[in-house]
Amino acid sequence: MSLTAEERATFKRDGVLIRRGLVAADQVRHAVDLIDESYRKPMNPGDIAVYSQRTFAPELGDRAELLALYTDTGAAELAADLLGDADPVTTAQIQIRVPEGEFPGVQPEKAMHVDGVSCPHLDGRELRTFSLIVGVVLSDINDPTCGALHYVPGGHVAMARWFAGEWSLGMTEQVPPEIDREQGVPFLGLPGDVLLMHHLVPHAVAQNLMPFPRVMAYFRVSHPDHANRRLAALRDPWLDYPPLADTSAPTFRE
């Protein structure tokens, strides 16, 4: 499975690509059954806060049924097509936006951010970055108020410019003010839809005002050289994307 020329152009412009119905219904069902069993175990508000920063159902992270959402659907091939090459993915991250009516005030809106940079729960000098995130929809996300992810199309280029010119390790700001004011585009979809998003695309996550949980499986994908050039990759949006690199375009590196 490979990308079309139009999809490559869309990803380069927006930093986001959506493949509808990429994951088969039976694969979705197997994953949902596992997650639902874990979700229905008693949770206290402290559990939810920790899971929201890391992953729900942490005991399922390496289960074959969840990893298959990435490895056996064509998503891995699409990621490798964008990056040229990709490290193996061995862990799934489960993110659930719990119903606000069931757990009031426990899971507030997540402000605009880039994963692994200036996270409030991490040392400001620590980077936990990667190249590409792949998200698989596991519940109906048909309304922005059900805890949808909101992303800023083209924000990967603006963030690279900010990282190169204004940001430094240890800063607490996660995005520049003009990005922080953005509402973003809500990602809506049906079970089996797949989101591929450049790591540098800033995004927020809304509260879930619906009576049912919003469930996504995420896979963090890295170019094999990413770990040795994390800072440089923040400042050059195409460093980890050789197939999309354009030598005539600015890279913003100091």
**How much is the pLDDT for 40?**
86
Residue 18 bridge partners (DSSP): 195
Q: What is the pLDDT of residues 57-95, one digit of tens each?
A: 999 999 999 999 999 999 999 999 999 999 999 999 999
The CA distance from 127 to 116, in Å, is 6
CA distances from 189 to 15, 156, 216 (A): 18, 22, 11
147-156 pLDDT, tens digit each = 999 999 999 9
State residue 160 phi and psi, 5-degree precision.
Answer: -60, -40
DSSP 243: G
pTM above 0.75, yes or no: yes
Percent of the chain's residues with pLDDT above 90: 83
Coil, helix or strand for 97? Answer: strand
Q: Look at residue 123 and tell me whether its pLDDT is greater than 60.
A: no
Sorting pLDDT into bands at 50, 70 and 90, what band is 198?
very high
pLDDT at residue 46 greater than cutoff 90 = no
Secondary structure in 3-state letters for 22-80: CCCHHHHHHHHHHHHHHHCCCCCHHHHHHHHHCCECHHHCCCHHHHHHHHCCCHHHHHH
Cα distance between residue 151 and residue 114, in whole Å: 10
Tell me 68's DSSP state.
H
* pLDDT tens digit sequence for 207-244: 999 999 999 999 999 999 999 999 999 999 999 999 99
pLDDT at 207: 96
DSSP 145-183: TBT-EEE-TTHHHHHHHHHHHT--TT---SS-HHHHT--
Inter-residue contact 199 to 79 (CB < 8 Å): no
Single-letter code of the amino acid located at 147: G
At 250, is the pLDDT very low, low, confident or very high (cuts 50, 70, 90)? very low
Whether the per-residue pLDDT at 252 is higher than 90: the answer is no
Residues 130, 233: Cα–Cα separation, whole Å: 9
Domain ranges of the chain: 15-244
User: Once rounded to an integer, what is the mean pLDDT over residues 50-58?
Assistant: 92
Q: Cα separation of 5 and 13, whole Å?
A: 12
pLDDT at 54 over 70: yes
Alpha-carbon distance of 182 to 197, in angstroms, equals: 17
pLDDT recorded at residue 118: 74
In this prediction, residue 125 carries a pLDDT of 64
254 pLDDT tier (thresholds 50, 70, 90): very low
Question: Under CATH, what is the fold of the domain 15-244?
Answer: Jelly Rolls (2.60.120)
